[in-house]
Structure 1
């Protein structure tokens, strides 16, 4: 038995879920602008309260650790670390694209899942997973999409996520179909992986854990002052 709160803040959708041994008890979300900073701790308290669980009963905190939004990932990890320090419980970090793949169930073993997160212009964060097992087939990467991207995939593949549809018109791989389902990762799909990690004691360091950004931060350049 394990009670784990999962936190997902890598995109504009901020979500929290509470699982018991991998089974979902409660989940809440917000798309409010700035909601990661404003609402995250309240969502955590709310899912526990609605489930009749106190924070002190939690066995671990799981958090999506990238790729994704720089600000969102930092807020999520900092919040998770703070709770783990305060409650003296372990931290579990999970790959964002694997969380997206977990949203798909009853997928044939002959089908691949290709989650794509928007990373500006034609760049995406992407990975490939086997449909039935959700085992990783192509590692997480940042890639600039070209018509001939992922031509090595020669079996049915579902491309999805908020970065996938911008590739739809130019994709030359006949095996790839596009879905508008599950555009963002969600905390409710973190429970089973978090439970497995907890059982195996696959914990992250509260001191050394950092978000996996995949690429350097590209901020907006300040406007030059008129002379």
Structure 2
């Protein structure tokens, strides 16, 4: 079966789309800041036009479900739901942190990755992931397992958890958080990478095994992952 997937991501400052068609990948990446809503649909149209495809010729849509900014994740979720409903397509949600780990693997062959994206408010979107090669009837894929679950926390809390795990050795550090906060800059665990933000391109690699394992949802069941929503709720006066 020739799988055709379109991935999009607006969860961070980056805005990206990527297409898998006839076994080949194409992608468009921009740093859009506050213009995601203006850029993402034209980028989708452009990448489909380049391949002579219509939306209803896709097998599924893939999207970065977060973590990321409220606005960015919400934009990506809304656009994905609208496109999927209009073309009657299933949706494959992908973690933005896992996508960055996948980028580390594809670009640097790293299978041990620590992600830290600047979340503002002296916090980072943080996870520690280790890759496991899994063989199936559809081929060999890298599955990312959480050593430390994705979360939003202060740089100091991230460091404390890594130390508690006695983290050492050949880890690759990815994300904007390593340069944004002095605590992380001065205490790298392994090598700091030039990979700063997630890209839809690397979501495709994660979406392929998810498709074959039927790990997709209906458009109406798509749910974003903010991570910060519960923390913010608890900080409100009168909330526990």
- Say whether the fold is shared (TM-score over 0.5): yes
Normalised to the residue count of structure 1, the TM-score between the two structures is 0.85
Structure-1 residue corresponding to 2:4: 3
Deviation, 1:184, is: 0.4
Q: Distance in 2 between matches of 1:35 and 1:210?
A: 22
Conserved in 2, the CA contact under 8 Å of 1:26 and 1:50? no
**Distance in 2, Cα, partners of 1:56 & 1:204:** 17
Give the 5 Å matches for 1:48-67: 48-67=48-67
For residues 186 and 206 of structure 1, the distance between their equivalents in structure 2, rounded to whole angstroms, comes to 21
| Residues 184-203 of structure 1 deviation map (CA, whole Å, 9 limit, x = unaligned) | 00011111211111112211
CA contact (8 A) 2:178 2:185 kept: no
Q: Is the Cα contact below 8 Å between 2:16 and 2:199 reproduced in 1?
A: yes
Cα distance change, pair 16–113 in 1 and its aligned pair in 2 (3 A):
same
CA-to-partner distance for each residue in 1:49-85, whole Å, 9 max, x for gaps? 1122222211110001010011111111111111111
- Is 1:70 matched up with 2:70? yes
Residue 173 of structure 2 corresponds to residue 159 of structure 1: yes
Higher helix share: 2
| Alignment gaps of 5+ in structure 2 | 133-141, 233-240
Equivalent in the alignment of 1:107: 109
Alignment partners' CA distance in 2, 1:213 and 1:50: 33
CA contact (8 A) 1:17 1:24 kept: no
* Residue of structure 2 in register with 1:83 after alignment: 83
Moved more, 83-92 or 199-208: 199-208
| Offset, 1:91 | 0.8
- The answer (yes or no) to whether the contact 2:91–2:222 under 8 Å persists in 1 is no
Match of residue 153, structure 2, among 119, 143, 161:
143
